[in-house]
Structure 1
Amino acid sequence: MVALTTLDAIRHRRFLVLGGQDCWLRPDLVPRLVKIVHDAGEALGFQVLMISHHDADSFEHYADRVYELAPQGGGVEARLRGEGSAEQDEET
């Protein structure tokens, strides 16, 4: 995070990282939260990265991209929803 705060504000858009912000919400309320975060991000000019354990369907309507992560062998598979290809990342 420290390195990201040193980025040139003229060349790089501001961003917000939210991890587990919806962990205590009922699943039926998650889409409403996602819409609120999406609208706020657009109004403030922020790029938003949301990390969640809820069903990815809750995010697709408001997201530019949705990645699903799953254990795979000794690492993690990151799959972009809507595409058949997968990216491999080693577990850290």
Structure 2
Amino acid sequence: MKKFSFSLQKILEIKEQVLDNLKIEMGNLNRELNTVEQQIKNLKTEFKQLNDEFVEKCAVSVSVGEMTYYKMYMDNVLKQTEKKKKKKI
């Protein structure tokens, strides 16, 4: 009967393969994180522009319908921002 021999080289190869897979996964997660952060930044910019427009219209004259529209739209943007922040975590 042939004697069993085990090479540590095989263990090293397996660990390197696992490490490579983890590096790829980390890269994908970082890319997804960057995308979510950019989306949050865009939503914050959109909210600021919307709020500035709302304040400008309120200074002149705004109907109740328009005011409701702006408030609902701004609330929606804030909710989307919160969802993205939770996804980021």
Report which of the two has the higher share of strand. 1
**TM-score, length basis structure 1:** 0.26
**TM-score, length basis structure 2:** 0.27
Report which of the two has the higher share of helix. 2
